[in-house]
Amino acid sequence: GAGVSQSPRYKVAKRGQDVALRCDPISGHVSLFWYQQALGQGPEFLTYFQNEAQLDKSGLPSDRFFAERPEGSVSTLKIQRTQQEDSAVYLCASSLGSGATNEKLFFGSGTQLSVL
């Protein structure tokens, strides 16, 4: 596609609900990242995929957070039993290759999650 696409754009959840956030990376991009951005803060790393392999999930805040990329393209970030502190913008980014660590990232517009 033309860019990284994320859906939904906005999500309101009641505390305790499960949510699923979708990311469509740029076609052919090997690497995919999820970041969490709180209001007025910089993005915080959550997890990284190289194709379908989840190589780093050290940023996931708890075992309620789960990400997958089963076919090496679309990715889903799932949050179980949402809490108010999960409210943030969830950004997805992709990059072309996997060998160079200094590649630029292409970001989607994010999903703004509000947990009431």
Site residues, other proteins (CB under 8 A): 4, 31, 33, 40-45, 48, 55-56, 58-59, 91, 93, 101-102, 104-110
CB atoms within 10 A of CB 10: 11
Shortest approach of other proteins to residue 53 CB, angstroms? Answer: 12
Which residue number, 17 or 50, has a Cβ lying nearer to other proteins?
50
Which residue number, 100 or 116, has a Cβ lying nearer to other proteins?
100
The three-point CA angle 23-25-30 to 5° equals 125
Shortest approach of other proteins to residue 13 CB, angstroms? Answer: 19
- 3-state SS of 75-111 is EEEEECCCCHHHCEEEEEEEECCCCCCCCCCEECCCE
